[in-house]
Structure 1
Amino acid sequence: MVISLSSVLCQVTKSQMVKPGKGGAYNNLELAEVRRGRKRAARLRSDEKVETATLGNPVLHTVLYEEGDVVHVMNAETFEQLELGKDLVAEAARPFLMDGEDISLQSIDGEVAVASLPKSVAVRVAHTDEMSKTATKDAVFKPATLENGLTVMVPQFIQTDSVIDVNPNDGTYVGKSS
């Protein structure tokens, strides 16, 4: 969600509702300023009104390459190329900004405000240990290092060079890619 807080557009990255024993309820928000990328926190009482910004429809793009803090993407339909700051993508999902990966962009007043990756991303396992001989049919997980350098916990049957699906928002194993 994107809101206007003191005339500054901010994307809500985390929200926590708090209802203390005394006093009124409030929301603790973690925000990222859309235009500057700066992070900030806000506490809003439950009776405060906030203006929400209207986002445009998501437009599918493809990641071409990274260059420092900039990601070069291409519109899948018009082939128009854009440069985006990495700060538009959630911090946990940034390692999954690999060449050829799909990314969805939403704009406000012609300016890209939100960039999001799909719910699962196919990634090759660079290294993992062999299946444990003592593994039972219980769900036993082992660490696997992915081609982007992250380590995730995977089931015993996953081997080196397997392609798996990973949730880019929290870095968890989703399933074996088909």
Structure 2
Amino acid sequence: ARNVLTRNKVDITMKGTDVIEEADFSRREVQMLYTDATHLFVMDKEDYQQYELPLEDVEEELKYVTEGLEGMRAMIYNDGCVGLELPAAVELTITQCDPGVKGNSATSRSKPATLETGLVVQVPEYIKEGERLKIDTRTGEYLARA
């Protein structure tokens, strides 16, 4: 039996009798430091170790990440950060949305709202620009006012 494992453009070919050593895998609570043109930089909240992730690897997660986000964890594999785990919901501020139509507050119509990270979500028509909202990070949907 042959298996080919691919990680970071390195191919490892194994035979049926080969043994893989147990990987050093952990999840560590981190906070966002900054992004540059190519990477997101995060810091371990316990030991202050810094990790960098290519932006293309965390493109989806960045829609929910702000400075001070609590509950974000880095997935560490053999001393390197290989991904981010987000909390189930985050709070984000609306930076742009159209005003609601007067007299329609009782209807269940929705409108698009742009949040501080650039994420666009559908919100009830009565929601206003500047409000903080809870957003589900698994679906990208509006949950409630924060």
Shorter-chain-normalised TM-score: which range? Answer: 0.7 to 0.9
Question: Equivalents in 2 of 1:74, 1:101: separation in Å?
Answer: 12
* 1:95 to 2:63 alignment: yes
2:25 alignment partner, SS class: coil
Match of 2:6 in 1: 8
Question: Equivalents in 2 of 1:170, 1:54: separation in Å?
Answer: 30
**The one of 77, 82, 91 aligned to 1:122:** 91
Gaps of 5+ in 2: 10-19
**The one of 80, 87, 100 aligned to 1:131:** 100
Q: 1:141 to 1:78 in 2, by over 3 A?
A: same
Match of 2:111 in 1: 142
Amino acid at match of 2:68: G
Mapped contact 1:93–1:170 kept (Cα < 8 A): no
Mapped contact 1:65–1:98 kept (Cα < 8 A): no
Q: 1:92 to 1:170 in 2, by over 3 A?
A: farther
- Higher RCO, 1 vs 2 (CA within 8 Å, ≥6 residues apart): 2
- Equivalences, count: 132
Question: Equivalents in 2 of 1:165, 1:141: separation in Å?
Answer: 16
Gaps of 5+ in 1: 10-34, 37-50
- Aligned CA RMSD, in angstroms, stands at 2.5
Question: Equivalents in 2 of 1:167, 1:127: separation in Å?
Answer: 19
Q: 1:122-142: CA deviations, max 9, x gaps? A: 111012222222425342211
Q: 1:82-134: CA deviations, max 9, x gaps? A: 22222332x33223333233431122222222312221121110122222224
Quick one: percent identity of the two aligned structures? 23
Q: TM-score, normalised by structure 1?
A: 0.63
Match of 1:12 in 2: none
